[in-house]
Amino acid sequence: MSGSDHETKPWLIEDKAKPTEFEKTRLEDRAFAETIMSRSVGILTDAGQGVGTGTLVRYRDIRLILTARHVIAGSLPSSLRFAFRPPGSLHEAPLRAFAAGPTPLLGGQALKIIRIVEDIPYDIAAVILDDGQEIAAPAELYDANLIKVIEIPDRSTLQIAGFPSDNAIQVNQRTKAVGAVMDRAEFDAALNGRPDLSRYLSHKQFAFGYGWADDLEPRGFSGSAVWGGADSKSPIWTANITLVGVVTQYLRTEKLMCAAKLEGIVPLLTRLNS
């Protein structure tokens, strides 16, 4: 081997290991999915007949599950059941076929709930957890201590994770299992300014497209956090996310999700200590 060959070999190895742009995108997508799902919670109501989604949040010294008010309206706290992110890596599967993989199927568990704080106009609620309630890894709380009202940048990427009841399999005669689903959309400022949508959208909501509209009924996404990307000062890339809304409504004809704005979420959190 000549000296020239020896000098170029490390460069060739590095180039071979470098991911393509497609592979890089898939790796980043997986990182975002892992981060978002660790903070996502399935909510079972009406003895398991109703399904919604919530988000684990820490605000100051309070731990809570943020969701849409209508998801838990009319339910006693003691009757609610919650399903957290299970251990292990996430596994991808086709719709309604997730049992084919090794993903564990978890039943909901009762939690020690202190109280529920609601905001009726924004259709959001905070389920306050007892200090002694255990939240086992890999489930994580989203740190909302720096949350503030921001304007969502036009054309920015939004992501949601939820538990739509249409993505279910029959486990036995009495039991169905619901699989989590991720969706992604682009925020469109022009869409939210359309006059024909003003009768649906109040100043309390914003809208974005639902990517699964032709394949999956959205019922169960209610209460899902809407996530945007967050800038990081770290030189190491991480899947940084920031909470920008909570899903509260679906416009079927327009195939649009609607979400409560931060203008309602931030005041709800700030009055939890009062």
8 A C-beta contact, residue 53 and residue 43? yes
Instruction: Record the tokens describing residue 235, joined without a space.
Output: 């030189």
How many CB atoms are located within 10 Å of the residue 61 CB?
A: 9
Boundaries of every domain in the chain: 3-270
Between the alpha carbon of residue 63 and those of residues 12, 57, 133, 272, the distances in Å are 50, 6, 9, 10
Tens of pLDDT, residues 106-144: 568 899 999 999 999 999 999 999 999 999 889 999 999
What's the CA gap between 88 and 106, in Å, rounded? 13
What's the CA gap between 230 and 232, in Å, rounded? 6
Tens of pLDDT, residues 91-109: 777 777 765 454 444 568 8
Mean pLDDT, residues 21-43: 79
Bridge partners of residue 81, in order along the sequence: 44
Share of the chain above pLDDT 90, in %: 59
Closest of 177, 204, 174, 207 to residue 189, by C-alpha: 207
Query: Is domain 3-270 given the CATH code 3.40.190.80 in the classification?
Result: no
What's the CA gap between 128 and 75, in Å, rounded? 15
